[in-house]
Structure 1
């Protein structure tokens, strides 16, 4: 007997596993080659960008050292890889597909990348925020702007269907 899920529980499950590690959602969706490729890319970018070391340093308040350790040429690939993997896992999962659902993912990838670019010099109240925390702050702008653009597009789509 097959499990009964809520309308989009499967989508949420795949999205959350993809947040845990890009590629996991694809594996759960049965997209094994894509999942293995995404996991491999995640490890390559993580290692060459020194991301785990940067996370450890940032969580311990060593922001200047985290900036010094960052290989920006590699780490700038991470946001697009990460958000694409999340969107792809969500998109391929069972459940209702909603129009323009990709918008918050796309704009999040863009804004997190911009946050990473400015993380070497951007300060708040004279304190460097660094390559972990500034992209996380910028993520909120990506989610808001992507969500707002999606909302506008949905309203236009709805208006087009009502005429």
Structure 2
């Protein structure tokens, strides 16, 4: 769906029209839009919103069921592509690495497929937008050339790419930390807690003299 969104966006020149509208040139924004492709963008966009909401509700229900049943989960996995394990990591570090380059925050928490996806598309967007070339001109003090070399259609993909990478890495780091805490709690209860031990809520239990 992401590839479809990028393809239709480019064909319809939606990002370019947005840039012109941000600059106040509404007439030029209307002129550059390709209406044959623009109308294809709307149903996919709406489906993406609906499907993400529906999936979130389903995942929340699955989580509640798993929590009530005290369902076990795998805390260590060795595969052909990676060695993955539950560990407590810093959400701040995930954000910092994602700000440097989308995908690095996902690598920090061992989400390899998401990291690969984010890095590949970031490289594509950087290349076609000429952003790094513009940064080079900016460092040289040639702001006019830096502005002229930018491909605005591709450039406007960058904020959403960086925003997604930062948000995704932060949220997943926080959730992984919660899962790590739950796994540690379950391990300590099963292996070290006396089966007859009960927590008396709302009561103060005095120690034996």
Normalised TM-score (structure 2):
0.41
Larger Rg over CA atoms: 2
- RMSD value, Cα: 1.8
**How far apart in 2 are the matches of 1:73 and 1:85?**
20
Q: Does 1:74 align with 2:154?
A: yes
Q: Which runs of 5+ in 1 are unaligned?
A: 97-163
Q: Does 1:24 align with 2:108?
A: no
Residue in 1 aligned with 2:116? 36
Cα displacement (A) at 1:68: 1.2
Cα displacement (A) at 1:60: 2.0
Q: Does 1:58 align with 2:160?
A: no
List aligned pairs for 1:5-24, cutoff 5 A: 10-24=90-104
List aligned pairs for 1:69-108, cutoff 5 A: 69-94=149-174, 95=177
Q: Give the ranges of 4+ consecutive aligned residues of structure 1 lying more than 2 Å apart after TM superposition.
A: none
- Secondary structure in structure 2 of the residue aligned to 1:93: helix
Q: Deviations over 1:45-75 (max 9, x none)?
A: 0000011111111122211101111000001
Of structures 1 and 2, the one scoring higher in RCO (CA 8 A, sep 6+) is 1
Cα displacement (A) at 1:83: 1.2
Q: Which runs of 5+ in 2 are unaligned?
A: 1-86, 179-209
Count of matched residue pairs:
90
